[in-house]
Structure 1
Amino acid sequence: MHYTLRQLEVFLATARHENVSRAAEALAMSQSAASGALAELERQFGVQLFDRLGKRLQLSELGRELRPEAENLLARAEAFEQALRGSEAAGSLRIGATLTIGNYLAVGMIAAFRERFPDAEVSLNVANTETIVRGVADYELDIGMIEGEMNHPRLETIHWREDELQVFAAPGHPLARRRKVSDAELLALPWIVREPGSGTRQTFERAMHGILPDLEIRMELQHTEAIKRAVEAGLGVGCLSKITLSEAFARGSLVPLRVPQRDFSRQFNLIVHRQKFHGRTLRRWMELCAASP
């Protein structure tokens, strides 16, 4: 064999960071050692894996073609090492989750996973749907847990669980005691909603089909808690997942508005790269997701 696993690690780290110095830092290597490993890999096979644009290294056409194979080779090597050690799940797992899932579901799941598999190294990146999809597609993340709909040629979508959005307001809002809020009343309200690119915004816009262009979007915020605080302050009404609102409803700081004529249902999904090797740690995480209520 004319290449080493270390060379593949340097190749993939450089692909992720687009910079040898940052790749070396991520691998706890010196820059000269990382540069040497990458240069030797290219020299041995007479190929160019990166286009060098100043200090930035961008994958060449061949590099992009080989990246999935390199990712899978390293994942299989890690799985082989786990099997040699007799470990059920001892590898690393990079999870990406959209904000509702990351802040209200994923942390508890990670705690349960680590309790069962203490040797697993689990990291969590919380961002909006677009960012998580990009991370899984670019092999920055092993698995994504998303709220939005997604159609990406390199990714597989696995249905996980049901969810529903809820329109809500401050307790003293004039519509708080209404049995039903009409579309005409929805159009008269100032709205505080999630930013474009988020799964929650995507579901909100679908639910408001037909009246969406005429809604008054007063504020667009990236964080669920900021939206809740703004609504509590009487700046407008909001629409978020019921998961994020249960505690506020229980203590009475926010109240639901009833909009039965609009469909706010949606699905939470798992996304994985179609070409990614599923090692033990990833498989055990997917099993945990499937078993969660």
Structure 2
Amino acid sequence: MTLKELNIFYELCKYNSPSVVAKRLNVSQSAVSLALKSLEKDLGVNLFNRIGKKLVLNEYGRVFKEKTYKNYTELIDAKHLFNENNLIGEMNIITSKTIGSFVLPKIIYIFKQNYPKISINKKNENSKFIVNSILEGKTDFGFIENEIDNKNIIKEKIGEDRLIIVSSDKKLKKEYFIDELFNKRWILREAGSGTREMFLNAIYDIDLPVFYETNSISEIKMLLKNPDVITCISEYAVKEEIKRGELFKIKIKNLNLKRNFYLVYHKNKIKTKIFEKFSEFIKKNLKTIQ
């Protein structure tokens, strides 16, 4: 049976006349009759009593209507679920810890206000984890900072970031070469982190003495309260602490740590309306906070 046949059936239930239903649906009366015959053939029973020119529901017809009408209306509603003005769906995204903790939350909050029927499941992980999840089809798309070269992954630049060297030591006021700070206790993100990878690549010929590693940005910021501790971190992650004078940006000679933010997804991903709307929204609003 088809939705068209069911529609004609329910119209006949209401108006009892093939000619009236044909006029309402802008089809021929023979089309109405054929649809009803097809439906009754599929069910193996007659649904109406033919009384004069009227069609009146019989015992089978009444129970068929009762059992099916709710499901029919839900199917009709489902046809309109994904139109432009009524976007509904669920997105699974994984973001790097910097982007997920300090860049996207406010933007996602505003997006949810505009599109309340879109559910967003967000996790924060390191870049290596994100890339593997996309390749394995475990997430829709992700946000990372480090450069990747994988033929199966598409990356789109959505913004920029800068890594900085920070400490709570107020005495570090001049400009330094990186190895002049090796007397400090260096704390870095874990292996697989985009922040760590970029920093170590930038000082590739220098053996950095790493005192401690962690996958938590919050833990790094807590440890930075000790003036002996130093780290390389996203400017976004410590923007408020620098503004309050709790941490200080240290000037480093010959070290450029500017990087890009990327939206990444599998090359075979279908770009749904939700995907396009969300990615456009992110790109547009990211510019306003940079």
Shorter-chain TM-score range: 0.5 to 0.7
In structure 1, what is the Cα distance between the partners aligned to 2:202 and 2:168?
21
Greater displacement, 225-234 / 268-277? 225-234
CA contact (8 A) 1:194 1:201 kept: yes
Task: Please name the residue that 1:126 is paired with.
Answer: 124
Count matched residues: 209
TM-aligned CA distance change 1:206 to 1:81, over 3 Å: farther
Residue 177 (str. 1) matches residue 177 (str. 2): no
Superposed, 1:125-204 pairs within 5 Å as 125-172=123-170, 174=171, 176-178=172-174, 180-204=175-199
Residue deviations 1:220-243 (CA, integer Å, cap 9, x gap): 111111111112123421110000
Helix, strand or coil for the counterpart of 2:161? strand
For residue 154 of structure 2, give the secondary structure of its aligned residue in structure 1: strand
Task: Give the gaps of 5 or more residues in structure 2.
Answer: 1-77
Task: Using the aligned pairs only, state the percent identity.
Answer: 24
Question: Which residue of structure 1 lines up, in the alignment, with residue 93 of structure 2?
Answer: 95
Candidates 281, 289, 292, aligned match of 2:274? 281
Segments of 5+ residues of structure 1 without an aligned counterpart are 1-78
C-alpha contact 1:169 1:231 (8 A) present in aligned 2: yes
| Residue in 2 that maps onto 1:82 | 81
Q: CA deviation at 1:177?
A: 1.5
Task: Look up the equivalent residue of 1:109 and give its one-letter code.
Answer: I
* Change beyond 3 A, Cα 1:136–1:88: farther
Deviation per CA, 1:68-92, whole angstroms, max 9, x where unpaired? xxxxxxxxxxx97634x66442111
The Cα offsets for residues 54-75 of structure 1, whole Å up to 9 and x where unpaired, read as xxxxxxxxxxxxxxxxxxxxxx
Structure 1, residues 120-175: CA drift from partner, whole Å, max 9, x if none? 11110111001111112222111100112222232111111111001011134x4x
Alignment of 1:1-293 (within 5 A): 82-83=81-82, 87-172=85-170, 174=171, 176-178=172-174, 180-211=175-206, 213=207, 215-292=208-285, 293=287
Distance between the aligned counterparts of 2:84 and 2:223, measured in 1? Answer: 52
Q: For each residue in 1:246-275, what CA deviation from the matched residue of structure 2 results, as whole angstroms up to 9, or x when unmatched?
A: 111111111111014101111110101111
Please give the alpha-carbon distance, in whole angstroms, between the structure 1 residues aligned to 2:86 and 2:277.
9
Provide the secondary structure at the position in 2 that maps to 1:271.
Answer: strand
User: Structure 2 CA distance, aligned partners of 1:88 and 1:204?
Assistant: 44
Is the Cα contact below 8 Å between 1:95 and 1:123 reproduced in 2?
Answer: yes
**Amino acid in structure 1 at the alignment position of 2:97:** L
